[in-house]
């Protein structure tokens, strides 16, 4: 009985370099041995033999060297080495001596000695199961009675790679339909603010028009839910001038302002704007202009619940042009309740004591629907995922969910719809 000797060198650094290896195993290699009952093969002096008329054993191995190339991580490849007896005498293989890194293995098994008659062939199968990005190697030493080649070496090598890098780009859905309700304070202190609003009304309408927005605009006051003018649309003649005239509602109204309540009554099922004004596929914006706080009878949370009952959360905005802080020389009251509603609905807050009129156009910018759930087109290596918005990487406020293969935002305020969202990552790739 002969012996089989196979050595597996396991190295985390994968630093075994095939190009620097010697033709024989290094002297410091520790190998496992199996006692086969026969003395070790002496390879110190290759046999020359007499080629006269005497039969000789010869060996041919194909291929001598094999390059697996780049193998995608988590994928497998295999190849066969063919050993042929090409002499005139039987080829006797005494043993195999195999040195390898962990990801490359010899899967064929044989009992020794292997006696091969002239012309006979055998195949040895090697398999590369790639698990990392390191270089992997394997060397097989074949010991036989072959003339002049008592030791025959074959080698193979490869390197793990990722399948590739990919970027998923998400363009936010742009909503170009807008239903806008202006709620204008008509108390005795509002003449200056109404004039400022009227001076900027035409620019507001121009911004909507240039953005290609299909708009509807209505105006009510803080003491009445009834529109002061017919609905103004893209098709209205002189829409900008019509809005400028409509927002100057006068200063004879009730001194106890109730902006949220009037909006609720106007937009409710039985209100003047409850039917025909709000379109299902349009955003709804309530814009309050006041120099006082809100004295509506319900709580802010109740009004918030009402607004979301008539419009999807991502399509509703409550904008406030009110007192933001107490400013010396500006006789206003901080619009605390209006500001809270703007905060709840991701609306815009402008300081009525400042140059707010020119900023009114910010309310006319296109609105984007912001999702929290972004499915990826390929299965990523989670540690490689990066999220970018407008060229800047977002380090926090998101997580990767492997069950849905999606990036989920934990804080929607971290993103906006003005720039596309880009999610880059490496992926393992397809094994075929």
Whether residue 339 sits in one domain with residue 223: yes
Contact 226, 272 (CB under 8 A): yes
Residue 396: which of 383, 384, 382, 411 has the closest Cα? Answer: 411
* Residue 105 to residue 302: CA distance in whole angstroms: 69
**Between residues 168 and 176, which one has the greater pLDDT?**
168
| Chosen domain end from 367, 389, 405 | 367
Contact 247, 201 (CB under 8 A): yes
For residue 65, which phi and psi values (nearest 5 degrees)?
A: -140, 140
Six-digit token string for 286:
């309530």
DSSP H helices in 46-147: none
Cβ neighbours around 85 below 10 Å, total = 25
Q: What is the CATH number of the domain that holds 320?
A: 3.40.50.410
| DSSP structure class, residue 119 | T
Q: What is the mean pLDDT of the chain?
A: 85
Residue 432 inside a domain? The answer is no
* Pairing label, strands 316-322, 91-100: unpaired
Residue 231 scores a pLDDT above 90: yes
Q: What is the CATH number of the domain that holds 42?
A: 2.60.40.10
Residue 399 inside a domain? The answer is yes
The residues with which 296 forms a beta bridge, in sequence order, are none
Whether residue 340 sits in one domain with residue 323: yes
Whether residue 120 sits in one domain with residue 222: no
Q: Which domain holds residue 48?
A: 5-161
| DSSP structure class, residue 340 | H
Q: CA–CA distance from 174 to each of 186, 204, 297 (Å)? A: 34, 19, 36
For residue 404, which phi and psi values (nearest 5 degrees)?
A: -110, 0
Query: pLDDT per residue over 265-277, tens digit each?
Result: 999 999 999 888 9
Query: pLDDT per residue over 21-62, tens digit each?
Result: 334 444 333 333 334 444 444 433 344 444 457 999 999 999
Residue 243 scores a pLDDT above 60: yes
Whether residue 81 sits in one domain with residue 137: yes
Q: Which residues contact 230 (CB under 8 A, 6 or more apart)?
A: none
């Amino acid at each position: 009985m002969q012996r089989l000797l196979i050595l597996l060198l396991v190295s985390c650094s994968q630093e075994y370099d095939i190009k620097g290896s010697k033709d024989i195993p290094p002297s410091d290699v520790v190998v496992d041995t199996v006692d086969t009952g026969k003395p070790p093969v002496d390879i110190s002096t290759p046999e020359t033999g007499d080629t006269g008329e005497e039969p000789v054993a010869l060996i041919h191995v194909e291929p001598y060297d094999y390059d697996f190339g780049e193998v995608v991580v988590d994928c497998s490849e295999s190849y066969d080495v063919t050993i042929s007896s090409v002499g005139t005498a039987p080829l006797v293989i005494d043993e195999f001596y195999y040195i390898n890194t962990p990801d490359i293995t010899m899967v064929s098994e044989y009992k020794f000695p292997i006696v091969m008659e002239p012309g006979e062939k055998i195949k040895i199968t090697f398999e590369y199961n790639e698990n990392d990005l390191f270089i992997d190697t394997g060397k097989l030493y074949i010991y036989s009675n072959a003339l002049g080649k008592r030791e025959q070496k074959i080698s193979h090598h490869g390197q793990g790679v990722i399948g590739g890098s990919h970027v998923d780009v998400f363009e936010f859905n742009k909503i170009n339909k807008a239903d806008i309700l202006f709620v204008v304070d008509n108390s005795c202190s509002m003449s200056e603010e109404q004039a400022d609003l009227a001076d900027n009304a035409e620019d507001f309408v121009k911004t909507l028009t240039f953005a290609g927005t299909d708009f509807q605009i209505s105006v009510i006051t803080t003491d009445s839910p009834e529109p002061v003018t017919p609905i103004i649309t893209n098709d209205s003649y002189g829409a900008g001038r019509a809005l400028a005239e409509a927002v100057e509602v006068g200063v004879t109204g009730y001194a106890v302002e109730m902006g949220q309540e009037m909006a609720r009554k106007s937009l409710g099922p039985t209100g003047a704007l409850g039917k025909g004004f709000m379109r299902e596929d349009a955003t709804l914006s309530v814009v309050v202009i006041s120099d006082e706080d809100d004295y509506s009878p319900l709580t802010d949370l109740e009004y918030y619940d009402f607004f979301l009952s008539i419009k999807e959360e991502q399509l509703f905005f409550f904008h406030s042009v009110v007192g933001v802080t107490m400013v010396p020389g500006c006789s206003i009251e901080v619009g605390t309740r209006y500001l809270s509603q703007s905060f709840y609905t991701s609306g815009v807050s402008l300081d009525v004591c400042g140059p707010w009129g020119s900023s009114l156009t910010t309310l006319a910018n296109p609105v984007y629907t912001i999702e929290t759930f972004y499915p990826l087109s390929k299965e990523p290596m989670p540690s490689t995922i990066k999220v970018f918005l407008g060229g800047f990487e977002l380090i926090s406020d998101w997580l990767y969910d492997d069950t849905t293969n999606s990036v989920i935002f934990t804080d929607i305020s971290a993103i906006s719809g003005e720039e596309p969202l880009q999610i880059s990552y490496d992926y393992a790739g397809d094994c075929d």
